[in-house]
Amino acid sequence: MCGIIGYTGNGNAVPKMTEGLSVLEYRGYDSVGIAAQTDGGISVVKCKGRIQTLKEKEELAALSSTCAIGHTRWATHGGPSDINAHPHRAGSVVLVHNGIIENYKELKEQMQQKGVYFLSETDTEVAAAVLNDCYLESGDPVAAIRKAMLQLKGSYAFGVLFDDHKGEIYAVRQGSPLILAKGQDGSYLASDITALLPFTREYYPLEEGEIAHLTKSFAKLCSVGGEEITPAWTTTSMSPEAAQKGGYPHFMLKEIHEQSEAIVKSVSSRINAEGLPDFSADGIDADFWKQVKNIQIVACGSAMHAGIVGSRFLEEYAKIPTNVYIASEYRYHPPLAVDGTLVIIISQSGETADSLAALRYAKSAGLPTLGIVNAVETTIAREADRRIYTYAGPEIAVATTKGYCTQVSVLYMLSVAIAYATGRMDAVTAKEIAHSIKEDAPRAVAHMLETYKDTFVRIAKKLAPKEDMFYIGRGTAYALSLEAALKIKEISYIHTEAYAAGELKHGTISLVEEGTPVIAISTEAELYDKTESNVREVASRGADVTLICRDDTGEKEFSANEVILLPTNSEAATVFAALVTIQILAYETARIKGCDIDRPRNLAKSVTVE
């Protein structure tokens, strides 16, 4: 959730810190800080607020260093404040921290009994105190980190400076992601590879429990047990330009428009020369799918909503019973698993803490696991038995768009691949659907963005002043409504709920009054008449209704105030046209309200705490 950047080398570290932290802004944060080694010791400059506030501080302008660490904080223990901002100091130790120390209260009491006085409310300052206590005993940074790890419970990634080890950064990863990188001018450290792109493209993701010692000329690694580790450096194909807005006013809008290309990338390698769905390039052959008798999809937020859409296809085409579970609940009331159960973990970042914990639980129960992730070489990708990358590319806006879109496209293609491999779908049908996902879906996305751009703005102007609104739908449209409601909530802060349209009469319709915005989605022809009846129900009670429906309804007059027609040349075209419509409506509503679209309040991009 928070962001870490570090550098030691021949260059000026301070501008590297501010540039790297600026790249990490998308992760969500409420305070920021830098610690830099100078001739007079380690100087710490930090504050509540944005990076621009930090840049304006005189102390930072006067700072010069070749070794520094920086941090953007998203408050968990203690509210946003100058004091609670990272880095935190304890004795000879200054550190930045992503994650949560679960036993910090117990450790804090132990440190207080030793005479330690704490300035902040954070668990991070407690971790610094524990590390400093261990360092006082050994005088060896690595030995101190190893000993501290035995006392700390929770998830954490640390970047650490020691007063008497100039030009050196120490780091450890336990649960939260951390990446090392080497450039021509020194060594780097970051929580996200995008922060490293302005400086270098050669990186190494730390494994669980690995401890790193960085200098300007080398990176030494060891395990918590002390064994030396040789890092396997990788060169990322991601370019610095991929993490820029490219002329768009917001990353979210850029990423919405990138979805046509992202869909093609996500499915192209999964269609073989005969035009059939094929995941053998991912190391998954047809025989594997034949063993699957039951599927459990586990995810959080938008990834869970993608799973719900995907479950419809998996049951419709592959005829495999599929259930979707909230990752944070999965371990506490684990579902029954029969022989042939496959657990699919979906995560854009590949580091979502609850999803990772669910993955580990499933593996401990002996269940085969499949990770569907975007970010390459992340923890979920490495630990899952099998993995499928969505190839969405970097997604900077906190509210996911193309991440969700490509998760849906992969699950869609997966359902067809399983159906064909198990003989539940013939080759002709499988080819047709695979072709429609690759060709029709991208065209439908582009069509909606161009054809209805004025309509989207007109509808958004009516939504913007409202405090409450509803999405309704049936079947796949209801699954899409869940994501639609989340998008509006995330970036425009309008209280929005999604309901299965047939449930209106069981209580929900009592909330509809004169002027209440209701957006109805209908993507399946056989469910249109029933959805239209629900539209009439809410309209008769004064709701301001927008209907998003197929263009083949045959209606000449609609009951809704606004109508958006979806292409119906294929099921894929209809589904993805609806998908982009709900995203752009949320975007335009937030834009009209003047919200911070790419960095909505209280939210973070990569949720690495449980």
Q: Catalytic positions, please?
A: 2, 605
In the DSSP assignment, the letter for residue 575 is: H
Residue pair 171/159 in contact (Cβ under 8 Å)? The answer is: yes
156: which strand partners?
99, 175
* Euclidean distance between CA atoms 285 and 305, whole angstroms: 27
DSSP class per residue in 228-272: EE----EE----GGGGS-TT-SSHHHHHHHTHHHHHHHHHHTTB-
Among 342, 347, 299, which Cα is nearest to 318's?
Answer: 342
Among 492, 488, 491, 470, which Cα is nearest to 544's?
Answer: 470
DSSP class per residue in 146-200: HHHHHH--EEEEEEEEETTSTT-EEEEEEBS--EEEEETTEEEEESSGGGTTTT-
Look up tokens 């949320």; give the residue: 586
The CB density around residue 163, as the number of other CB atoms within 10 Å, is: 15
* Euclidean distance between CA atoms 225 and 213, whole angstroms: 15
Q: For 13, how many CA atoms within 13 A lie in the half-sphere containing its CB?
A: 30
| Chain length of the chain | 610
DSSP class per residue in 121-161: S-HHHHHHHHHHHHHHHH--HHHHHHHHHHH--EEEEEEEE
Look up tokens 């494994």; give the residue: 207
From the number of C-beta atoms within 10 Å of its C-beta (0-12, 13-18, 19+), residue 472 rates as buried
Residue pair 168/69 in contact (Cβ under 8 Å)? The answer is: no
Residue 601, amino acid: R
Residue pair 206/174 in contact (Cβ under 8 Å)? The answer is: no
Among 14, 2, 128, 120, which Cα is nearest to 72's?
Answer: 2
Cα dihedral: 113, 115, 121, 126 (round 10): -80
Q: What's the order of all strands across the beta sheet hosting 234-235?
A: 41-48, 31-38, 67-73, 3-9, 186-190, 179-183, 202-205, 234-235
DSSP class per residue in 423-447: TSS-HHHHHHHHHIIIIIHHHHHHH
Contacts of 506 (CB under 8 A, 6+ apart): none
As given in the structure block, the two tokens for residue 396 are 């900077």
Chain centroid offset of residue 196 CA: 18
Residue 602, amino acid: N
* Euclidean distance between CA atoms 432 and 95, whole angstroms: 55
* Euclidean distance between CA atoms 578 and 487, whole angstroms: 13
Backbone φ and ψ for 406, nearest 5 degrees, come out as -75, -30
